[in-house]
Each structure stands twice: as structure tokens, then as C-alpha cells.
Amino acid sequence: MPYKDVETDRAYNRNRRAWLKEHGICTDCGSNYCEPGHVYCKACGVKRKQRNDAYDSRVSKTERMKALRHARISQGLCGDCGKPAEAGRPTCPRCRARRRESAQVARIRNRIKRETEAKVVTRHTGGTANV
């Protein structure tokens, strides 16, 4: 498609926004008057706030998960999935197996990392390291 049209479109949008701003009209929806001291109307201000709130709730997700986990465990449920937990354990058998597996993977990964680092150190000290 003609490149020129895109450019015209951009220029049009730019002019439109400038025009709206100049006339005190919301640049978001282009139909309502702005709130005093803002470049958007009341409705769009609420929408913006909701977007920000959604962002905040994403940030604190870890905290909420932690609280949920504690609540589940205190009720004798699996902290991971909420199903009945094994007696005396914070997780159900399935999640325990899954955790064990991922712990093993993490251990192996750590060992490989340590070994790689050790090799680098040995090379740097001229191979005189006694192990």
C-alpha cells in the first residue's frame, strides 16, 4: 500500500491531537471535555486508573500467592494447588513429586554451573589449584 497514506494518517492524528488539546477536549476519546489540569476526560481518567490498578495487582501477585499459600497450608491443604495435603506436609503427593523433580533439576544445573566456574578459575591460576 502507498507509503504516503500512512504518513498523511500520522500527520492527521498529530494535528487532531494538537487540535483537541488546544480546545480542551480529551485526546483519548476525542469527544468529552478534559478534566481541569488533565489532557483527558473523566471517563478516560477512570480507564487510565483501572489500567494502573491492574498493573499494581500484577506487581503484588507474588505477595498474594504467598498469602494464599499460607492460608491453604493452615487449612491442611496443599500450598501449591489447594488439594488436600499429605499429613504433616505443606503439599499434596503430586506437588511434592513435582517439587522434588524441579529441586533435582536445580541441583544438577547448579553443579554444572559450579564445575564450569571451577574450570575457569583453574585456567586463570595457571592450573595449579589443588582439589
Sites of contact with Zn ion (CB under 5 A): 26, 28-29, 32, 41, 44, 78, 80-81, 92, 95
C-beta of 6 vs 18, nearer to Zn ion: 18
Does residue 108 sit in helix, strand or coil?
A: helix
Question: Quick one: cell of 94?
Answer: 503430586
The least CB distance from residue 28 to Zn ion, in Å, is 4
The least CB distance from residue 36 to Zn ion, in Å, is 14
C-beta of 6 vs 29, nearer to Zn ion: 29
Contact present, 83 and 89 (Cβ < 8 Å) = no
The least CB distance from residue 60 to Zn ion, in Å, is 23
C-beta of 29 vs 105, nearer to Zn ion: 29
Contact present, 91 and 79 (Cβ < 8 Å) = yes
Question: Quick one: cell of 126?
Answer: 595457571
